[in-house]
Structures are given as structure tokens and as C-alpha cells.
Amino acid sequence: MHLQQSSGKSSAHLPFVAAHNATGIVSPPRVLQALARSYEQPAAPGMPPRTDDVYLTFEIFFGTAAYSRDILPALAESVAHWRRWVPEDGLRLDDLLHR
């Protein structure tokens, strides 16, 4: 699953920094809850089997004029933001929802 912060008006691939999170619509608890709800539904006929593993991956873009000194802190803040809900890799969704 590709993760990016968004205003809901465009797919700007924003980082999860305080300024964007204040107005963004993507929140880790809501993403995790939506994943759980989707797996609670019966599998749709004709679709491939569901996967046992879901990888959360950032899909954050920066402009061509962006500086490394700005990009790296924004990525670090994005990781820190998500680590509050996903404290380590490889945890089961059930465990993440009941933290």
C-alpha cells in the first residue's frame, strides 16, 4: 500500500509532516482500520486471493527544485509520524489495532 498525505483535492504525494497532517485526510489509525474492514468483507468473486502480508510504503514526491536539506527531515518526520502507530515492522494488523 502506497502512503502519501493528501488534502483530498489532489494527489500531491505530500510527506507526513505537521503542516500537511494538520490539513491532510490520511491518518494512520484510519488507514489501519480501513485495511481491517476490507479484510472482514467476503472476498469478491473473480479476484485474486488476498495476500497475507501488506506492506506500507511511502510514495512521497518532492519537486525537482527541492533541496536534500529539506527532503531528508521531511522523510524522517514522516517515518516518526507513522512509527507512533506502527512501532516496528512485521506486526500483525490485529496487534496494531489493539495497541
Number of domains in the chain: 1
| Mean pLDDT value across residues 2-8 | 96
Task: Give yes or no for a contact between 37 and 65, defined as CB atoms under 8 angstroms apart.
Answer: no
Task: Give yes or no for a contact between 36 and 85, defined as CB atoms under 8 angstroms apart.
Answer: no
pTM: 0.90
Residues 55-90 pLDDT 10s: 999 999 999 999 999 999 999 999 999 999 999 999
| Mean pLDDT value across residues 18-47 | 95
78: exposed, middle or buried (Cβ count in 10 Å: 0-12, 13-18, 19+): buried
Residues of the chain with pLDDT > 70, as a percent, come to 100
Residue 13 lies in domain: 2-97
The pLDDT-based confidence of 51 (bands split at 50, 70, 90) is very high
Residues of the chain with pLDDT > 90, as a percent, come to 93
Residue in 92, 98, 14 with CA at minimum distance from that of residue 53? 92
pLDDT confidence of residue 99: 81
pLDDT confidence of residue 3: 98
